[in-house]
Amino acid sequence: MAYLNWLIWLIPLLPLLGFLLNVFVVRRERPAGLLASGMVLGAFVVAVVAVIGLAGLPAESRRIMSTGWQWISTGAFQVPFGIMLDPLTAVMVLLVTGVGALIHIYSIGYMHGDPRVVRYFAYLNLFITMMLFLVMGNNLLILFLGWEGVGLCSFLLIGYWFERRSAAEAAVKAFVVNRIGDAAFILAMLAIFASFGTLNFYDVEIGGVIQPGFLERIPEILGRTVGPSWQPIAVATGISFLLLIGATGKSAQFPLFVWLPDAMAGPTPVSALIHAATMVTAGVYMMARTESLFQESLATQSWVLWIGALTALIAGTAAVAQWDIKRVLAYSTVSQLGFMVAACGMGAYVAAIFHLLTHGLFKALLFLGSGSVIHGTHDTQDMRRMGGLRTAMPTTFWTYLVGAAALAGIVPLAGFWSKDEILAHALSHGNWPQLIILFLTSLLTAFYMGRQVALVFYGEQRDHSYHAHESGRVMTVPLLILAVGAALGGLMNLPFSIPGGHWLSDWLNPVLHEEPGEFNLALALLATAGAVGMGYLGWWVYTRNAARVKVGGKDPAYRYTGDIWDGMEEAWYLDAAYNRFVVAPFRALGGFLARVFDPQGIDGLVMGIGRFFTWVGGGVRGLQSGYVRTYALVFTVGVLLVLGFVLIFTR
């Protein structure tokens, strides 16, 4: 299958071409949208062809490695600029290009008339390119290239409507939080290189020479430790923990998830593509790719498990109490990512990827649906101002319903199968506390989706300041396609021993070594009953009490839960806690010591830390008084320190 070697290069290069053309050549809206969508669609078609070709190979040789050139070559340090296609990459590529193409097409309608729309499509194309490099790279460095690239595009797109202050702030917040994860990722790379002497995932043959891959050399580091003798850390634990921090940032896990809900300030298709379906799953993908490293460290694995489970619960509760239609979905995304991470922590990587794929489909559907709602209600996002929209926008309603049911885990839609597989794994691995947490979260999921559907589509329209209308064909067709996907996506990996039932498990088997989860009928029934029940409850509470929902008012459930509701609405005050316990001391310190503060500062954790550093920088610059004598003074201090050190040292 030699043609695959060059064919797979087309997948990332087509969107790159679209990006370049949109930056340098195209100046008008229509060609920009068509070009961008066409390129991504082309990449999808190529990907399909390539995956079919890949499937034609025997299972054990399903790994196409193609090296463009030797990126770095210095003695022992060899890194090819190479991409690959293996089963895991294949499903990711299909998801990215497929969902990506639909969202591009949808954007043509959604962004129509925006003054900077050419730039929008350029960013979007660049994002797809970088995401493809991320999932296709055959070494950590390429992965990192994509990792940084998608971060950058996400940053640019969150702040796309930079006239809105919240957008600019959210962009900065996302960027700064992600830097924490990125720094950990770089350190992990350094540690991996130092331990293995390579950054390749797998052995690569280049010019007849085989370059080793670290994933195939894990045993080399077993038993090795670093750190002080009284507290040694196993190398495997150290590396995997750093990678975990990296994933925590990118995939919005506790405690770094605070940026994702704010990221909804970007255009809705962006939220669908980047902050739900693809980029935020990069952390999960990365953990799955390096699963053998994680598997060597029980310590890290339990961290992964707990972080995932806690994130799922915290974000799930927060989602229940939101009024903003997109924030519900944002917290829901964080929560579902928590499911995936928890699955990784259990060693159930196939389940994690399965959930990643189905979630990509139905969450993209939900976001695009909410975009359609926002579009049809003239930029309304507050659900208290909606209601009764099912008659005005039927297509949106029905597709949204499918997506919501899929997310809630109603049999037989996609979400049911993937979520059930994660729960089944938790059960069969005996992770009881996490099982309970995740089960509760899945109940919450059904509840808040029922609540959302009721608030948006049922009852009476509570605000008549706009005239709701259905969106155009260019937006509804992607919705329909995604709805089909959300409905049938579960067929990828049915827990039954029928031919093709474990299709995804079998397909991923060469990469991810995991037994298919045991199907537990009791659990499945319980989960389904719970989902249906809670979904209905959510719907029922908010249709019955629809009259109590007032614009700007409290939630009807507030009566029963009281202040707890406030806690949920504020995501358990994590932002506030950051503000109080991290930002405030920093700020107090800064305020105490610095006379003047930047008046246009921005609240929030990151800005606080950023401001602290800025304050330190201000100190640095305060010493920079302009007096040359002071400079000489500082110089002399340095001299004294250096000479003093020499004297003491040579005593």
Partner 1 sequence: MDVLLFFVTAAVALVGAIAMLVSRNAVHSALFLLLNFGAMAVLYLLLQSPFLFTIQLTVYAGAIMVLFLFVVMLLGAEQVEDTPDRIAWQRPLGILLGVGLLGVAAAASLRGAAGQPAPGGEAAASFGNPAELGALLFTRYLLPFEITGVILLVAVVGVVVLNQRGRQQAPAKPPAGD
Partner 2 sequence: MEPLQIPPVNLILLAPLLTVVGWASALLLVDVFLIPEGKKKLTGYLAIAGLLVAGLVGLPLWNVSGSTFSGMLVLDRYSLSLTWIFVIVGALSIAMALDYLPRHGIEQGEFYPLIMFAVAGMILLAQGTDLIVLFLGIEALSITLYILTGFAYPRLTSEEAAMKYLVLGAFAAGFFVYGIALVYGATGTTSLAGIAEFLGRQTLVAEDQTLLLAGAGMVLIAFSFKTALVPFHMWTPDVYEGSPTPVAAFMSVGTKGAALAALLRVLAFAFEGVQAYWLPVLAALAAITMVVGNLGALGQTNVKRMLAYSSIGHAGYILLGIMVASERGAEAFLFYLLAYALTNLGAFGVVIALEQQGESVWSIEDFAGLYQRRPMLAVAMALFMFSLAGVPPTAGFMAKFFIFTAAYEGGLGWLALVGVITSAIAAYFYLRVVVKMFMQEPAREVQPELNRGLNADIIIAGVATLLIGLVPTPFIFLAQQSLVALGG
Partner 3 sequence: MVPTAYYIILSAALFTIGVLGVLIRRNAIVVFMSVELMLNAANLALVAFARERLNVDGQVLVFFVITVAAAEVAVGLALLVAIFRTKNTADVDEVSTLKG
Residues making contact with partner 2 (CB under 8 A): 23-24, 69-75, 77, 81, 119, 141, 144-145, 148-149, 152, 155-156, 159-160, 162, 168, 171, 175-176, 179-180, 182-183, 186-187, 189-191, 193-194, 598, 610, 613-614, 616-618, 620-621, 623-624, 626, 628, 630-632, 634-635, 637-639, 642-643, 645-647, 649-650
Which partner from the list partner 1, partner 3, partner 2, none does 230 bind, CB cut-off 5 to 8 Å by kind?
Answer: none
Which partner from the list partner 1, partner 2, partner 3, none does 152 bind, CB cut-off 5 to 8 Å by kind?
Answer: partner 2
Least distance (Å) between residue 588 CB and partner 3: 24
Look at residue 77 and give its three-state secondary structure.
Answer: strand
Look at residue 429 and give its three-state secondary structure.
Answer: coil
- Give the Cα separation of 576 and 603 in Å (integer): 10
Which partner from the list partner 1, partner 3, partner 2, none does 613 bind, CB cut-off 5 to 8 Å by kind?
Answer: partner 2
Least distance (Å) between residue 169 CB and partner 2: 12
Which residue, among 502, 307, 483, has the nearest Cα to 407 in the 3D structure? 483
Which partner from the list partner 2, partner 1, partner 3, none does 59 bind, CB cut-off 5 to 8 Å by kind?
Answer: none
Q: Which residue has the tokens 């190979």?
A: 57
Is the Cβ of residue 75 or residue 208 nearer to partner 2 in the bound state?
A: 75
Least distance (Å) between residue 647 CB and partner 2: 7
Is the Cβ of residue 540 or residue 635 nearer to partner 1 in the bound state?
A: 635
The CA–CA distances, whole Å, from 184 to 244, 246, 614 equal: 8, 6, 22
Is the Cβ of residue 588 or residue 637 nearer to partner 3 in the bound state?
A: 637
Least distance (Å) between residue 161 CB and partner 2: 9
Least distance (Å) between residue 115 CB and partner 2: 10
Least distance (Å) between residue 442 CB and partner 2: 36
Look at residue 296 and give its three-state secondary structure.
Answer: coil
Which residue, among 16, 41, 158, 22, has the nearest Cα to 100 in the 3D structure? 41
Task: Using the CB atoms, write b or e for 464-501: b if 16+ within 10 Å.
Answer: eeeebebbeebbbebbbbbbebbbebbebbbbeeeeeb
Is the Cβ of residue 2 or residue 628 nearer to partner 3 in the bound state?
A: 628
Which two structure tokens, joined as six digits, stand for 536? 């209905």
The CA–CA distances, whole Å, from 422 to 416, 534, 581 equal: 10, 19, 35
**DSSP H stretches of helix in 56-200:** 87-110, 117-136, 140-158, 165-196
CA 128 to mean position of chain CA atoms: 14
Is the Cβ of residue 467 or residue 621 nearer to partner 2 in the bound state?
A: 621
Please tell me whether residue 623 binds partner 1 under the rule CB under 8 A.
no
Which two structure tokens, joined as six digits, stand for 71? 């990126």
Cis amide linkage into residue 412, ω under 30° from 0: yes
Least distance (Å) between residue 193 CB and partner 2: 6
Least distance (Å) between residue 593 CB and partner 2: 14
Which two structure tokens, joined as six digits, stand for 458? 């049922």
**Is residue 204 within 8 Å of residue 70, measured between CB atoms?**
no
Least distance (Å) between residue 29 CB and partner 2: 15
Is the Cβ of residue 75 or residue 626 nearer to partner 3 in the bound state?
A: 626
Is the Cβ of residue 628 or residue 647 nearer to partner 3 in the bound state?
A: 628
Positions 248 through 267 that interact with partner 1 (CB under 8 A): none
Which partner from the list partner 3, partner 1, partner 2, none does 440 bind, CB cut-off 5 to 8 Å by kind?
Answer: none
Is the Cβ of residue 525 or residue 633 nearer to partner 3 in the bound state?
A: 633
Positions 624 through 643 that interact with partner 1 (CB under 8 A): 625, 627, 629-630, 633, 636-637, 639-640, 643
- Give the Cα separation of 251 and 341 in Å (integer): 9
Torsion from C-alpha of 599, 605, 608, 612, nearest 10 degrees: -170
Site map (CB under 8 A) of partner 1, residues 352-391, x = contact:
----------------------------------------
Is the Cβ of residue 68 or residue 644 nearer to partner 3 in the bound state?
A: 644
Is the Cβ of residue 499 or residue 627 nearer to partner 2 in the bound state?
A: 627
- Give phi and psi for 430, each to the nearest 5: 75, 25
Q: What residue ranges bind partner 3 (CB under 8 A)? A: 621, 624-629, 632-633, 636
The CA–CA distances, whole Å, from 437 to 417, 432, 443, 569 equal: 18, 9, 10, 19
Look at residue 72 and give its three-state secondary structure.
Answer: strand
Which partner from the list partner 1, partner 2, partner 3, none does 144 bind, CB cut-off 5 to 8 Å by kind?
Answer: partner 2
Which partner from the list partner 1, partner 2, partner 3, none does 640 bind, CB cut-off 5 to 8 Å by kind?
Answer: partner 1
Which partner from the list partner 2, partner 1, partner 3, none does 497 bind, CB cut-off 5 to 8 Å by kind?
Answer: none
Least distance (Å) between residue 627 CB and partner 1: 6
The one-letter amino acid at 641: L
Least distance (Å) between residue 632 CB and partner 3: 5
Which distant-in-sequence residues (6+ apart) come within 8 Å of 279 by Cβ? 127, 131, 150, 151, 154, 250, 273
Look at residue 651 and give its three-state secondary structure.
Answer: coil
Which two structure tokens, joined as six digits, stand for 638? 């340095």
Is the Cβ of residue 246 or residue 485 nearer to partner 2 in the bound state?
A: 246
**DSSP H stretches of helix in 412-520:** 414-428, 432-457, 473-488, 503-508
Which two structure tokens, joined as six digits, stand for 577? 């806690």
Least distance (Å) between residue 202 CB and partner 2: 21
Please tell me whether residue 24 binds partner 1 under the rule CB under 8 A.
no
Is the Cβ of residue 152 or residue 401 nearer to partner 2 in the bound state?
A: 152
CA 92 to mean position of chain CA atoms: 13
Is the Cβ of residue 76 or residue 628 nearer to partner 1 in the bound state?
A: 628
Which residue, among 13, 17, 40, has the nearest Cα to 95 in the 3D structure? 40
Is the Cβ of residue 123 or residue 400 nearer to partner 2 in the bound state?
A: 123
Least distance (Å) between residue 295 CB and partner 2: 25
Q: Which residues bind partner 1 (CB under 8 A)?
A: 625, 627, 629-630, 633, 636-637, 639-640, 643-644, 646-647
